[in-house]
Each structure stands twice: as C-alpha cells, then as structure tokens.
C-alpha cells in the first residue's frame, strides 16, 4: 500500500500569497456554519493522517482491533469499549499534534525547557491512552482468540 503524500508545512510570513492573506483574515473568526466547522475538523484529521506516522499506526491498530472484535463475535458492548478506547487514543494523538504545532510556533524551532516539558507531557498522554487501549483490547480479545485457536487444534 503506497504511503500518502506528505502535506507541506504552512508558508512562512515571508511567503506572502493571496491565499495565505485571505486565510489570515478569517482564521480568527468563528465558522460561518456547521458544515464549515466540519470541514475545519476534517482538515485537522487529514493533516494528522498525512503528516503523523503514529496517527496512521493508531488508525491501523484501531481498524484491526475492531475488525478482530467483529470476526470473533464479541458482544456489541465489548466492541463499543474497544472503539471508545481506540477513539480516545486517536483524540490524544490529535491533541498531541496540536500541542506540538503550537509549541513550535511559539518557540520558533528553538530549544526551550518548557517547550520540551509540554511536548513530552503530550506524548506521555498518548502513550498512557495507547497502553490502556492495548490492555482493554487484550482483556476482551485474548479469551475468544485462545478459544478459537484451541478449537482449531
């Protein structure tokens, strides 16, 4: 499966372009309607998918866990629990990406101890949510997987 193309980083202020100028004029405004809000949200998800390797990994694992849940005929509530925990990992990864972007914007690619703390804490939050999701998936998926393997052999 070919890897998606990388999204280029937003232009710097020196790269004046009418599109950038127009975006700057409206970037602080509230979305004009609900569809525009959804478009902005989708833009964020797309950005994370195209630029963040870990986000793609988490999506793949999420799809695998839910697919395996359905294959193993887990109860609807168990599939929902796996879906919720997987979704929370994706949410944490999106927040991590947002925090990293804001920190990079503020410190302008220079090292700062507090920038490191912010980025490390955000990454830690993703790690904790991923570990919890793995624990939940293991508790729900391993017993029926073992039963299936035993029944085959």
Range of the domain at 43: 33-152
Yes or no: say if 38 and 32 are a contact pair by the CB < 8 Å rule: no
- Tell me, yes or no, whether 99 lies in a domain: yes
pTM value? 0.78
| In-domain check, residue 118 | yes
pLDDT of residue 18: 47
Q: How far apart are CA 57 and CA 50, in angstroms?
A: 12
Asked if residue 93 lies in contact with residue 130, where contact means CB atoms within 8 angstroms, the answer is no
The answer to whether position 122 is within a domain reads yes
How many folded domains does the chain comprise? 1
Evaluate whether residue 7 is within a structural domain.
no
Instruction: Mark whether 93 is an active-site residue.
Output: yes
Catalytic residue from among 24, 78, 93, 100: 93
User: What is the rounded distance in angstroms from the CA atom of residue 33 to the CA atom of residue 20?
Assistant: 21
pLDDT in tens, the chain (153 residues): 455 555 555 554 444 444 444 555 556 667 788 899 899 999 999 999 999 999 999 999 999 999 999 999 999 999 999 999 999 999 999 999 999 999 999 998 789 999 999 999 999 999 999 999 999 999 999 999 999 999 998
Asked if residue 44 belongs to a domain, the reply is: yes
Q: What sign for the dihedral angle of Cα 86, 87, 90, 96?
A: negative
Q: Does some domain include residue 10?
A: no
Q: Is residue 48 part of a domain?
A: yes
Looking at the domain assignment, is residue 51 inside a domain? yes
Q: Is 28:104 a contact under the CB 8 Å cutoff?
A: no
CATH number assigned to the domain comprising residue 58: 1.10.287.3610
- Smallest Cα–Cα separation from 101: which of 48, 57, 36, 59? 48
């Amino acid at each position: 499966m070919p890897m998606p193309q990388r999204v280029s980083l937003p232009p710097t202020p020196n790269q004046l372009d009418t599109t950038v100028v127009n975006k700057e004029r409206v970037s602080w405004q509230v979305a004009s309607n609900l569809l525009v809000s959804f478009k902005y949200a989708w833009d964020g998800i797309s950005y994370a998918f195209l630029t963040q390797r870990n986000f793609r990994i988490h999506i793949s694992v999420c799809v695998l866990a839910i697919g395996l849940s359905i294959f193993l005929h887990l109860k609807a509530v168990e599939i929902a629990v796996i879906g919720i925990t997987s979704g929370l990992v994706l949410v944490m990864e999106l927040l991590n990406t947002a925090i990293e972007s804001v920190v990079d914007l503020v410190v302008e690619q220079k090292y700062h101890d507090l920038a490191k703390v912010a980025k490390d804490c955000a990454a830690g939050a993703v790690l904790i949510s991923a570990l919890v999701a793995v624990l939940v998936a293991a508790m729900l998926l391993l017993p029926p997987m073992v039963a299936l393997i035993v029944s085959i052999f």
